[in-house]
Structure 1
């Protein structure tokens, strides 16, 4: 290793490995013991992390012969380092803080999003493994020339890596802000060599496409103040030439390093100057800690930009995840509707995939028999109520004629005297008349949209006393919908944990279906999704109404899922009506609650509430 901390390619072997280190690095197929970490011990997790990092290295560096070690502390003393002679890469486990070792899964693509700084250090060393193929002469090791060459290699390797994998830019930026720069902000920097070193690490990364020009502007201004514009331009020409140098061109990189020393007036064959101790062709030049302050401002600019970009990425990922979840829910709803409303289908059990498969010898759960007890002919009062409700629904869905007003220079229309006088005045003045004195009102008939009515009936055990009014109300709603318009459709689902189709979309019920309410659980969320998929309740262009008959006694999870589905429909313009037949109901928002204490008055009350909901929701 060079004496400076910015060089991460070490041609000097690290201290000898201990017996434990050798055991952890031994391959499984060479006869050595297989390392089996205990999941509860943090220290034993790092060999697994090392192995998983090693598994990801080929995609970054294109090499499969590099051994990766990750442990608290490194043998080189740097946060990360690459040893070409040993084909070994090491990275300090502290870079992964605050994530515990057991949670770090580099083998899982995308896990690196949680620790971009550590992954950036890994990507940086992978860039060295892929592109740092040249080697300076042994007699020049530890000299100023060696220090300059290693400085130039930092941005050259990253530029070459970025040409192959441009998406790794964000990780290399995180590496700069958390690994490279803290070393400069922790000490006083005020010499020409210090300024050239900072420029070679930061401004060179700007020209490599890793940092942005506005981020490093404070450092560039201070570098010009310490070095001069001409010297900085000469150094920039050198690092740009290094970026174009081949991976194996040791002669070219040595020449670039020698030119670097000549521009700064440094002795190439002497040890490199210590930070803040002078160097180059003169003593410290003004500014005190101004260079370190410029580096700090640069760090702040990069960190601020990274936070903003991270917020944008997070919002984009949330939107993508939301769209994916909505697409998956839509697909699942369509499949559920297909299975529920298939003619002759029995009760549908949602989330069947979450049920563990039956093992041999295990008793199979009983098949749900469904809530349908019997069917009967509708009573005369129910038929009359259906007719009355149909008229009320048709009136609620009625749209007034569209009114269109237009203005013209000639009849027909109502004459506006102010406009007529203005037109005469324009004509008298010799101007082209532009006033329009006649106003015409045209009324155009608009079509009354069809109705889409979804009905969900709770048949869990707590609804046992309300089965009769529920059956009557479900039939009246379905029949009335069919009577309003030939294009109107309705469907009814009875739900507990299972879902059963009572009436199918587009089919008017001839008989009243009576229920047995003795089920367990509530799958109202799936029922809402299935009704939406079958009737397009979330799609504009029709009068849409969802009617839920239930007491609302759900578990918190069931209530939250159902309320989320109902809220989505409400936001899409679908009217929601909650019918409760219990004296102490718990309707879910945002539905319009209708408590029916007297089943005899249910028909009239349902009609009023349904028409009100349709009228106020258009």
Structure 2
């Protein structure tokens, strides 16, 4: 069978060299190949470099030329530590198109690479030596069993090479089936060893080899096939250097065939055709399964690449949004207090600010109460960390001390740790970030006075609570106006405004507050309050909801205050309807207190 073609002895190689020399002496012109043999020398050298990783040996040489001395697609020559490789395996590629030095180039010629992997398995595991007096029939059987044994061992060492070992089976087995070295029962047994042996080695699937298994069972019988299966399965467990055990399995193989041959019916006259047809079915099944696996792998790779592109696009979009938000925040929180249009240019004629006034006594008292509430909500108990040790400092635990004395008295190494030390640490107080976006379109005139008062109260209370706390308020219609800015100092006066604008630009208002107050960054008590009836167009709502979802995903609380019964709810926000606009200050204060209390 085919095994003799893949592991060549030195004597066989010398005989082939003599035959080639005799051919040259006949006077006939040497056979011409499509490409010069010298052009394949580089390919062979690069295959040799990759062989180190495949076989784990550095003493192997790969020679690649059109045709081989063994007349097989490839062969391992243990005597000269050489693997000869037929350049025809790379067809239709020319040598300049083959670059094995580049990892991944083997995907362009999987059949040729599979043959190299098979020969690398021989180089790594076919290291047992044939005894000088061994019977040729036994040696032939051992080499037959060696085919699936080396692939089983290689698969244990490099499981990712299974795909290439499957392609090598299609390349190496079919020619040997059509031109057998054995006949009759021995031929069927050899096909079983090559096909079913690879099944049991994990190279082929059981469903793929059913046609050969059924045919071999019909020709060999159930008992003989079970015996042969046990022999090649045992050979798979044989050590690489154990020549005696390998030849013993080969002897068992020969004895089983010799004992069963007289009892079996005569083999069909067209046995070779039947076996070739069954093997062809196996190869078709393999090709179908490999194509399905490749399609699934390609689909998974395409899906992963699509996800990667989507993530990259999302990162690019987020970076672009951050740049635009930074530009919006810079233009809105300008030092002159002017109104800006969506493109960042000043729009003073649309400024809703009507003036500034001194805070009332009630507003100052409300700011003081809110400040105390925020401090109480931000307070964190000291954390305690207890550690034990065998030596001071620390509080002595008498039970552990007695245990340590008992351990010493018993002559064992003391493991008790009688001293307990408690370390108390103050937990940092989280600062507060509150952004208020108030709709100043004509339908929101009732919110102007309470929101102006609430903005000053929250800003003042946040400053009194923690020097790192910051608040900001933006009035928006189509344009944006900063009522309070994200500074560490509370405004001295209350900014009053009117609501007579048109259209809405809540998306840019949220961007400016997010960038100015770091509402997307964890570590602080974060709250966004939107005072609006949400009477927006579909596009305006979509832009606002996108920003709100980004903030809520980052852990920022978003509260929507509505004042009129016909108000709409912005998805992602916590709605709060206030029939009395004067209650807006208390509602915002409670939401800010809850936000800082939830901060960890």
Whether these two folds match at TM > 0.5 is yes
Larger Rg: 2
Aligned match of 1:225: 173
User: What SS does the aligned partner of 1:155 have?
Assistant: coil
Tell whether the 8 Å contact from 2:326 to 2:512 is kept in structure 1 after alignment: yes
Aligned match of 1:602: 584
TM-score by length of 2: 0.56
Quick one: distance in 2 between partners of 1:537 and 1:393? 18
TM-score by length of 1: 0.54
Tell whether the 8 Å contact from 1:575 to 1:617 is kept in structure 2 after alignment: no
Quick one: distance in 1 between partners of 2:354 and 2:316? 40
Query: In structure 2, which of residues 295, 298, 307 is the aligned counterpart of residue 306 of structure 1?
Result: 298
1:491 and 2:472 correspond: yes
Q: Displacement, 1:412?
A: 5.5
User: What SS does the aligned partner of 1:586 have?
Assistant: coil
Evaluate the alpha carbon distance shift between residue 219 and residue 584 of structure 1 in structure 2; reply closer, same or farther with a 3 A threshold. same
Quick one: distance in 1 between partners of 2:462 and 2:309? 42
Query: In structure 2, which of residues 366, 384, 387 is the aligned counterpart of residue 406 of structure 1?
Result: 387
Quick one: distance in 1 between partners of 2:113 and 2:505? 57
Aligned match of 1:555: 537
User: What SS does the aligned partner of 1:344 have?
Assistant: coil
Q: Deviations over 1:312-344 (max 9, x none)?
A: 211211111111111111111111111111212
Q: Displacement, 1:160?
A: 5.4
User: What SS does the aligned partner of 2:544 have?
Assistant: helix
Q: Deviations over 1:160-213 (max 9, x none)?
A: 59999x99x89x97xxxxxxxxxxxxxxxxxxxxxxxxxxx751477899xx95
How many pairs are equivalent? 380
Q: Displacement, 1:149?
A: 11
User: What SS does the aligned partner of 2:561 have?
Assistant: strand
Higher relative helix content: 2
Aligned match of 2:360: 379
User: What SS does the aligned partner of 1:374 have?
Assistant: strand
User: What SS does the aligned partner of 2:533 have?
Assistant: coil
1:536 and 2:536 correspond: no
Tell whether the 8 Å contact from 2:356 to 2:495 is kept in structure 1 after alignment: yes
Query: In structure 2, which of residues 483, 490, 494 is the aligned counterpart of residue 512 of structure 1?
Result: 494
Quick one: distance in 2 between partners of 1:436 and 1:427? 13
Quick one: distance in 1 between partners of 2:498 and 2:463? 26
Quick one: distance in 2 between partners of 1:385 and 1:451? 17
Evaluate the alpha carbon distance shift between residue 215 and residue 155 of structure 1 in structure 2; reply closer, same or farther with a 3 A threshold. farther
Q: Which runs of 5+ in 1 are unaligned?
A: 1-147, 174-200, 232-281, 354-364
User: What SS does the aligned partner of 1:452 have?
Assistant: strand
5 Å-filtered alignment, 1:322-337, equals 322-337=314-329
Tell whether the 8 Å contact from 2:455 to 2:484 is kept in structure 1 after alignment: no
Aligned match of 2:331: 339
Evaluate the alpha carbon distance shift between residue 216 and residue 457 of structure 1 in structure 2; reply closer, same or farther with a 3 A threshold. same
User: What SS does the aligned partner of 1:375 have?
Assistant: strand
Evaluate the alpha carbon distance shift between residue 430 and residue 553 of structure 1 in structure 2; reply closer, same or farther with a 3 A threshold. farther
Aligned match of 2:277: 286
1:203 and 2:130 correspond: no
5 Å-filtered alignment, 1:119-198, equals 154-156=92-94, 159=97
Q: Which moved more, 1:519-528 or 1:594-603?
A: 594-603
Tell whether the 8 Å contact from 2:115 to 2:172 is kept in structure 1 after alignment: no
Tell whether the 8 Å contact from 1:217 to 1:298 is kept in structure 2 after alignment: no
Tell whether the 8 Å contact from 2:525 to 2:598 is kept in structure 1 after alignment: no
Q: Displacement, 1:589?
A: 4.5
Quick one: distance in 2 between partners of 1:475 and 1:448? 23
Q: Displacement, 1:424?
A: 2.5
Aligned match of 2:441: 460
Quick one: distance in 2 between partners of 1:406 and 1:372? 60
Aligned match of 2:424: 443
Quick one: distance in 2 between partners of 1:423 and 1:556? 75
Evaluate the alpha carbon distance shift between residue 522 and residue 296 of structure 1 in structure 2; reply closer, same or farther with a 3 A threshold. same
Quick one: distance in 2 between partners of 1:539 and 1:508? 22
Please give the root-mean-square deviation of Cα atoms over the aligned residues, in Å. Answer: 3.8
User: What SS does the aligned partner of 1:228 have?
Assistant: helix
Q: Which runs of 5+ in 2 are unaligned?
A: 1-85, 118-159, 180-272
User: What SS does the aligned partner of 1:154 have?
Assistant: coil
